[in-house]
Structure 1
Amino acid sequence: MHVVIAPDSFTGTLTATQAAEAIAAGWHDTAPHDALTLLPLSDGGPGFLDVLGRSLDGDTVALTVSDPVGRQVPAAILIVDDEGERTAYIESAHAAGLHLLGPDERNPANTSTWGVGQLLKAALLEQPTRMVVGLGGSATNDAGAGLLAALGAGPADALARGGQALAAAPDDALSGLLGVREQLAGVDLVLATDVDNPLLGFKGASAVFGPQKGATPEQTQELEGALGRFTEIVARTLPAPLDLLTGAPRRLEREPGAGAAGGLGYALLLLGGRRVSGVELVLDAVGFREIVRSSDLVVTGEGTFDWQSLQGKVAVGVAEAAMECGLPSVVLAGQVLVGRRETMGLGISGAYAVADTPAEVDAALLDPVGTLRARAARVARTWSPAG
């Protein structure tokens, strides 16, 4: 049997490559006769560049940028030339990732996307025709204000001190925004994201993702108000684009994906960007459908398989693509918090948790490779014919 192993990263414990290798090792323990193809994936979050770099023939540009609290960290840009098109791939988590901060440093009221702006600025020096920015796994909630400041849209002291400071930003804080848009006028700017949340509201960046980044309930409300103030400044500076069909003004803060990565999606939309599914972009780039057509089973996975997974993350994207090719797929996750009815409706034939009880969760965190390998070995007994 030919099995394609295509997981996302297990956030906080394993990269996508490490997860794929652990699953493959466990599968081989039970079914050494099976042929295994390892295909680590990403939806735009952490690991985006590593995954693309394995499949695309490009050059990596190394540089140093600011992390969410202003420290210097290593980062990279992937430059790919293909039939006259020059694409710069950027992973926002290199500069704004939650993994860059310790548990006691996680405070989205004060973290900035300045470093992501530095990445875009460096990418522009490569004269790309297209820039693809992977969004996900961020520690920030500043609507991309720091990014815009780094590109020259406004002063750093007003825009690059975190989301909470935007509440006091002056009306002219984005006086250079039109100039930044002109710099990017000839570039196809693409947002590769796993979420379709708007910037504001009950499904917005602050309400949904703020608590995951360390915000208290009080800070979540304050951030919502601060981002609302930021949209008022934008409205004073930038005329609203018109809908091509209706001619009505478009509210970019309400666009799907505007709330991605703490509102980084909103800033990129302001610069003329367009949103695509991060997992679909990666699946196409690595030739996923061509690979799985010659296989018998697809195994995917992620750290926690929950309701957010159903909104366009790797596991669901893989399952849908596998179903198009007439193949079954199963999910291995640290925890499974989605019912069988939901998974079956998505074409997933089984979802298996590494840990079900608190004690098992603790054991999995202490030995993520070993526990994932053991779970994969048990799943192989079910799915491999000779097992």
Structure 2
Amino acid sequence: MKILHVVEDYSIESGGLRTVIKDLNHYLNKAGFFSCILSSKEEKLDNIFIVNTSKPWLYSKEWIKKITLINEEYNFDVIHIHGVWTYPQYKSAQFSIDNKIPFILSCHGMYEPWLWKKGTVKKKIYFNNVAKNVFKKANFIHAITPDEKHNLTKLFNKESIIEIPNLISDSKDVFLKDKIKEKYILYLGRLDKKKGIDLLIEAFSKMKNKGVKLKIAGKINEYKSNLDDLIERLKIDNQVEFLGLISGDKKQTLISNAHVLVAPSHSEVIGMVNLEAAILKTPVITTHQTGLKPEWNNNGGRLINPNLKELIIALDEILEWDVEKRNKNGEQLYNFVINNYSWSERFKDWLELYKSCQIK
């Protein structure tokens, strides 16, 4: 079977989306499929197809030319579209329909209710008048969590919405924490209002434990000025450190040595950083709105609602843990993620979905 993945941004800046697609592409090729990626952005060593464009909506006539050209060479059995808001996704779906190629749409949480509330009129007009008419013809629409599946069912009124969670590789090297050099709380991800970073900063300022630092890792953008203003108002300038974009081994080390990773997002579909931290045996505080199983709470992590009171309580509790208890909970969370969110346990779900496209 030959599969083409289409995604607007495959660079490191796309965060967890890159990780999800990169791993899926890897495991498909490893299983004997032919799987490749088409995007507008890549990293230096990536081996993918590219359409260079920086125009609004990522518009370019080259998308249809590129898809046509590589389809003539490979004759794809399935086109897997990731994301919903830009021209490459729309045009790929249209191409699939016109050429009678089965296609899967992975929305990656981009239609979640919190984002609709914060969205623009333009997005609603685009969805209702353009995208919906094309995307509803997908052979399958992929949801990452039960909540996303429920929400997508309301938008598309479609039975063929399949739930498969974000998955993580269990083959990473794990560094156990045995000595405290510097005790810190870590946020790692995009600097964005949706991510609840402002909530974390305020909760951090009100914790009982004052002998700890907050490290924020993510590409610096305009939103940082909002966070700087908040930090200055709370008078915690010396306790908060912005690290910028961190990747590779440095990222793993940063996560591994954190006392706890905190991802207090208002809206997320699991969030790869939660799984990445768990696989490195670092405890994680995140929110119910990420769609993780409730059992996360009983397996070394904490699920809260994204509000100040619950976050302060969770931080105060976990910062009371000594190294031994922290490592024990990290180990427990690791085992939970392996059983529920690992490629080794759940890759078969993707294989069944792709094969079903040929039957429908």
Quickly name the TM-score band, shorter chain normalised: 0.3 to 0.5
Whose RCO is larger (CA < 8 A, sep 6+)?
A: 1
- Structure with bigger helix share is 2
For normalisation by structure 2, the TM-score amounts to: 0.33
